[in-house]
Amino acid sequence: MKFVDLNAQFRGIEDDIRESIERVLQHGQFVMGPEVFELERELADYCGVAHAVTAASGTDALLLALLARGVGPGDAVIVPPFTFVASAEVVRLAGATPVFADVDADTFNLDPARLAEAAQRVRAAGQLNLRGVMAVDLFGLPADYDAIGAVAAQHGMFVLADAAQSFGGAVDGAHGKVRTGALGDISATSFFPAKPLGCYGDGGALFTDDADIAAAAKSIREHGMGAHRYEHARIGITGRLDTIQAAVLRCKLKILDRELIARRRLAARYTRALDGIVDTPRTPPGYASAWAQYTVKTRRDRRDAIRARLQTAGIPTAVYYPIPLHRQPAYAQTNAPPLPVAEALSQQVFSLPIHPYLDAAQQTQVIEAIKTAVCD
Ligand SMILES: *Cc1c(COP(=O)(O)O)cnc(C)c1O
């Protein structure tokens, strides 16, 4: 059994993928070819935003967003500590300081109350210029953007959504369903192969309704290009999405909704079967996760033994994330207040196979193996 089965996906769309890549091979515009712009239009339409700007990776998309907002030395951006390293890494790369605020034990996402405390603390200390908050949609579940947005508004912060894991997720708002990409002031996603919408290498995109931010991001991803290619209006990076990856993504976007249905069905069945055996993930009312991961919790002193039993039974699992960011050598901060929820989660969680091509028999095998491993 595979944790993520990209081969199974490829078998279903092989002809479309081969034709799409072949077109790129024929026209030869490997950098910023027509597929890149077609994809950007399709992504913006899918998310319901005015602008999608593709990038070389999800990390670059986040960095483009921060640089486009003018984040730099002396600035603070509040980030949850229970996430992939890239969320804090880009803040450092921009020259700013990541300030950690703890997450909610049930949703795994930034806790708005802890965000408010962290914002107060930064302002009271008076050393850093509080610029923004990065809300991460961990495991595919959108963060609480209503509450986070309210805190952000009080403190004049922008909201950058790290939607690397949640492309295809949504929240029911006052005006209907809002997809990730349209949540927050700027949103960034990743097309790393194992993400809900993945390419065959690295890729990412940012989304915004703000035309100035989109224009700045487009400039920064091409070395800060100004009025023409050899005028450089600002400092930039080589941050473009390859045309071949755009061609792949256009094929995969067509099947995304079907795949999301499969992920949701698998998640619902896991929850029905495993509730009470392990702590199953909660989805608040009105929220739709993209189910990048199905992550359960156990007692901390049992987690590793349960995983070892599952491995023996041929069931692959993973721990996202075993070390919270404030415990990482590169991100440790002196005088930082404790972050108990992130600490506990890093010892309690593990994720089960949930890719769209996992069949019912395989899922039954996972469920039975967990029951055995937990009850032993
Ligand atoms: C994957 C991921 C990223 C970075 O995406 P890359 O495309 O790998 O650079 C950022 N944040 C989170 C939460 C992620 O899961």
How many CA atoms does the CB half-sphere of 40 hold within 13 Å?
22
Average pLDDT over residues 344-354: 98
* Residues 258 and 197 sit within 8 Å (Cβ to Cβ): no
Q: How far is Cα 82 from Cα 322, in angstroms, rounded to an integer?
A: 9
Contact 293 CB / ligand 1 (< 6 Å): no
pLDDT of residue 337: 87
Distance 165 CA to ligand 1 centre (A): 7
Q: How many CA atoms lie within 13 A of 164 on its CB side?
A: 25
pLDDT at 205: 98
Under the banding of pLDDT at 50, 70 and 90, the label for residue 21 is very high
Ligand 1 pocket residue status of 136, Cβ below 6 Å: yes
Mean pLDDT score across all residues of the chain: 97
Atom 7 of ligand 1: nearest residue by CA position: 58
Does any ligand 1 atom lie closer than 6 A to the CB of residue 192? Answer: yes
CB of residue 184 inside a 6 A radius of ligand 1: no
Q: What atom in ligand 1 is closest to the CA of residue 192?
A: 7
The atom number, within ligand 1, closest to the CA of 138 reads: 13
Cβ–ligand 1 contact at 162 (below 6 Å):
yes
Model pLDDT, residue 299: 94
Closest CA to 51 of 236, 218, 234, 197: 218
pLDDT at 376 over 90: no
Q: Given the CA of residue 203, which atom of ligand 1 is nearest to it?
A: 7
The pair of three-digit structure tokens given for residue 369, joined into one six-digit string: 């193996």
Angle between helices 112-125 and 145-154 (to 10 degrees): 20
| Angle ∠(281,87,336) on CA atoms, nearest 5 | 90
Q: How far apart are CA 168 and CA 233, in angstroms?
A: 35
- Closest residue by Cα to residue 71 from 99, 98, 101, 91: 91
Q: Which two three-digit tokens encode residue 132?
A: 């923004």
The whole-number pLDDT of residue 375 equals 86
Q: Are strands 204-208 and 186-190 parallel, antiparallel or unpaired?
A: antiparallel
Cβ 87 under 6 angstroms from ligand 1? yes
Q: Rounded mean pLDDT of 14-19?
A: 98
| Cα of 273 from ligand 1 centre, angstroms | 30
58 lines ligand 1 (CB under 6 A): yes
Per-residue pLDDT of 265-295, as tens digits, reads 999 999 999 999 999 999 999 999 999 999 9
- How far apart CA 92 and CA 175 sit, in angstroms, is 36
Sorting pLDDT into bands at 50, 70 and 90, what band is 146?
A: very high
Q: What is the pTM of this model?
A: 0.97
- Cα of 344 vs centre of ligand 1, distance in Å, is 22
C-alpha 282 to ligand 1 mean position (Å): 22
Six-digit token string for 338:
């404790």
DSSP per-residue letters across 156-185: T-EEEEE-TT-TT-EEEETTEEEETTSSSS
Q: Give the span between the Cα atoms of 253 and 40, in whole angstroms.
A: 11
Beta partners for 161? 135, 187
Reported as a pLDDT band with limits 50, 70 and 90, residue 144 is very high
Across the range 236-240, mean pLDDT stands at: 97
In short, whether 59's Cβ falls inside 6 Å of ligand 1 is: yes
Res 150: pLDDT:
98
Q: Is residue 132 a contact partner of residue 149, using CB atoms and an 8 Å limit?
A: no
173 Cα: distance to centroid of ligand 1 (angstroms): 26
Pocket flag, ligand 1, residue 84 (CB < 6 Å): yes
CA of 84 to the centre of ligand 1 (A): 6
Q: 17-51 burial by CB neighbour count: b if 16+ within 10 A, else e?
A: beebbeebeeeeeeebbebbeebbebbbebbebeb
Rounded CA-CA distance 118/116 in Å is 6
Nearest CA to ligand 1 atom 5: 58
